[in-house]
């Protein structure tokens, strides 16, 4: 017959106090070390089956099943996170006002995930039943990374209710189980890097107890009742502060401003530029600026492979259909920084009305 204590845990401190025993007395009675008692009560260790059996016998108690610890999956907040006061305040105020879904959208590398993670950590205590982080891989530089809806639903169910035996094969039944699992729980779901509103819609809880923070390069305004937080490049003074924090004080305000402008004030690009400067102790800010001056080599200078700016841009490019890809490539032939609809239409060979809509679509990625 299997030892049932292997599938159970006890609230040792509560049972010990109920038995009016000190830690030393319980250790002596059970024949275990005092340090073992302390480590179990503090949560630093989980008792082995034999130890658990001895403790139960010494206390005259029954093993009590304990619910699995609530998942705490949020990534570490970005070290040196600074600025973004207005969008962060907007997000937190929306939650204070009762928002159940907050959607952060903006271009690649603008800092959506960093903002969402920072906000999620600030709100974590309000959602004691768990904080889940799910990368939806809506925009990815590699094929095959986007998870199926079934796998995401199942993952959340298992995280929140490991004892749940129901694993419906039909998507409708699985979705119902997902919503039933979330019902009555206060859970924070951070759904990162969505391909669009439809991907988020399928993962929304059916009850108002939980909070969803979603990020995407596309506008998620199609999510009804969602509070939108559009995120653009930070103002110059915030960009300077970000670079100063990331570079460890190795740049002056003027140098930081120049680097920020070379990087389009995109936090991802600025962070990579600062990392390059930190990795070259012999460099001065001027050396980095010289390398960033060549627009043809700018991306190469701050490239780090799959997490670089080029990879982020390529992930957006992969999501475009052939006509949008053609238009984007042809826009690169324009000699200036600005282009109007008629010039874009002439470059792409597409009529002006359709080009206007396509330009709007490109803004969203």
Residue 52 inside a domain? The answer is yes
177 within 8 A of 150, measured Cβ to Cβ: no
Mean pLDDT to the nearest integer, 202-222: 94
Residue 205 inside a domain? The answer is yes
> Of all helices (H) and strands (E), which one includes residue 24?
helix 23-30
pLDDT at 312: 66
Quickly state the pLDDT bin for 59 (edges 50, 70, 90): confident
pLDDT at 112 over 90: yes
**Domain coverage including residue 209:** 85-230
Q: Which long-range contacts (CB under 8 A, 24 or more apart) does 276-284 make?
A: 276/301, 276/302, 277/247, 277/250, 277/251, 278/247, 278/248, 278/250
Residues 108 and 161 in one domain: yes
Q: Among residues of the chain, what percentage have pLDDT more than 70?
A: 87
pLDDT at 236: 94
pLDDT at 149: 92
Residues 296 and 328 in one domain: no
The pair of three-digit structure tokens given for residue 290, joined into one six-digit string: 């010289």
Helix (H/G/I), strand (E/B), else coil: 191: strand
| Residue 135 phi, psi (nearest 5) | -85, 115
Residues 107 and 222 in one domain: yes
pLDDT at 1: 37
The pair of three-digit structure tokens given for residue 43, joined into one six-digit string: 């949560």
Q: Within 13 Å of residue 106, how many CA atoms lie on the same side as its CB?
A: 20
pLDDT at 193 over 80: yes
- Residue 149 vs residues 71, 153, 155, 199: alpha-carbon distances, Å: 20, 6, 10, 8
Mean pLDDT to the nearest integer, 39-62: 79
Q: Which candidate, 95, 116, 94, 121, places its Cα nearest to that of 105?
A: 116
pLDDT at 237: 93
Mean pLDDT to the nearest integer, 2-20: 61
Residue 28 inside a domain? The answer is yes
Contacts of 339 (CB under 8 A, 6+ apart): 331, 347
CATH of the domain at 22: 1.10.260.40
pLDDT at 224 over 50: yes
pLDDT tens-digit readout, 252-265: 999 999 999 999 89
Quickly state the pLDDT bin for 309 (edges 50, 70, 90): low
Instruction: Decide which of 122 and 337 is more confident.
Output: 122
Residues 209 and 240 in one domain: no
Q: Mean pLDDT score of the chain, rounded to an integer?
A: 84
If you ran DSSP here, which 8-state letter would residue 335 be given?
A: S
Tokens 């109920």 belong to residue: 18
Residues 140 and 187 in one domain: yes
Kindly report the pTM of this predicted structure. 0.72
Q: In the chain, how many domains are there?
A: 4
67 vs 335: CA distance, rounded Å: 63
Residues 159 and 105 in one domain: yes
- Residue 271 vs residues 78, 200, 274, 287: alpha-carbon distances, Å: 11, 29, 5, 17
pLDDT at 84 over 60: yes
pLDDT at 108 over 70: yes
Residue 312 inside a domain? The answer is no
pLDDT tens-digit readout, 122-174: 999 999 999 999 999 988 766 657 889 999 999 999 898 876 766 677 889 99
CATH of the domain at 110: 3.40.50.300
Sign of the C-alpha dihedral computed for residues 348, 354, 356 and 362 taken in this order: negative
274 within 8 A of 247, measured Cβ to Cβ: yes
Residue 315 inside a domain? The answer is no
pLDDT at 238: 93
Any idea how long the chain is?
365
Last residue of a domain, one of 230, 260, 280: 230
pLDDT at 4 over 70: no
Helix (H/G/I), strand (E/B), else coil: 192: strand
pLDDT at 344: 81
Last residue of a domain, one of 230, 264, 296: 230
The partner residues of 191 in beta bridges, in order of sequence, read 134, 214
Residues 54 and 162 in one domain: no
Residues 113 and 209 in one domain: yes
Specify the pairing of strand 101-105 against strand 227-230: parallel
215 within 8 A of 113, measured Cβ to Cβ: yes
316 vs 39: CA distance, rounded Å: 49
Residue 135 inside a domain? The answer is yes
Residue 66 inside a domain? The answer is no
Residues 331 and 282 in one domain: no
Residue 247 inside a domain? The answer is yes
Contacts of 321 (CB under 8 A, 6+ apart): none
249 vs 177: CA distance, rounded Å: 52
Specify the pairing of strand 131-135 against strand 101-105: unpaired
316 vs 214: CA distance, rounded Å: 17
Residues 117 and 201 in one domain: yes
Sign of the C-alpha dihedral computed for residues 299, 300, 301 and 302 taken in this order: positive
Residues 203 and 118 in one domain: yes
Dihedral (Cα; 173, 175, 181, 182), 10-degree rounding: -160
Residues 266 and 357 in one domain: no
Mean pLDDT to the nearest integer, 79-102: 91
């Amino acid at each position: 017959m299997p030892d049932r204590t292997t599938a159970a845990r006890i609230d040792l401190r509560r049972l010990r106090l109920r038995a009016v025993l000190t830690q030393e007395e319980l250790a002596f009675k059970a024949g275990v070390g005092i340090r073992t008692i302390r480590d179990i009560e503090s949560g630093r260790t989980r008792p082995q089956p034999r130890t658990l059996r001895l403790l139960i016998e010494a206390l005259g108690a029954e093993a009590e099943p304990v619910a699995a610890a609530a998942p705490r999956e949020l990534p570490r907040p970005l070290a040196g996170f600074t600025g973004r006061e207005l969008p962060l305040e907007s997000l937190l105020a929306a939650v204070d006002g009762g928002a159940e879904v907050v959607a952060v959208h903006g271009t690649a590398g603008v800092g959506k995930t960093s903002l969402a993670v920072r906000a999620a950590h600030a709100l974590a205590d309000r959602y004691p039943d768990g904080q889940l982080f799910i990368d939806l891989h809506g925009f990815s530089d590699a094929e095959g990374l986007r998870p199926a809806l079934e796998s995401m639903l199942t993952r959340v169910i298992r995280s929140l209710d490991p004892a749940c035996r129901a694993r419906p094969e039909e998507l409708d039944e699985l979705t119902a189980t997902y919503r039933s699992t979330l019902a009555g729980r206060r859970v924070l779901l951070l759904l990162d890097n969505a391909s669009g509103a439809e991907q988020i819609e399928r993962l929304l809880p059916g009850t108002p107890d939980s909070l969803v923070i979603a990020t995407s390069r596309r506008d998620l305004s199609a999510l009804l009742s969602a509070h939108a937080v559009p995120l653009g490049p930070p103002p110059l003074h915030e960009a300077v502060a970000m670079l100063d924090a990331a570079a460890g004080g190795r740049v002056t305000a003027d140098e930081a401003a120049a680097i920020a402008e070379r990087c389009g004030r995109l936090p991802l690009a600025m962070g990579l530029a600062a990392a390059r400067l930190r990795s070259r102790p012999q460099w001065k800010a001027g050396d980095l600026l010289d390398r960033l001056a060549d627009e043809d080599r700018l991306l190469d200078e701050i490239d780090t492979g799959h997490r670089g700016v080029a990879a982020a841009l390529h992930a957006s490019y992969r999501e475009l259909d052939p006509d949008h890809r053609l238009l984007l490539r042809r826009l690169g032939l324009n000699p200036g920084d600005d282009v109007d609809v008629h010039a874009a239409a002439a470059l792409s060979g597409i009529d002006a009305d359709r080009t206007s809509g396509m330009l709007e679509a490109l803004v969203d990625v």
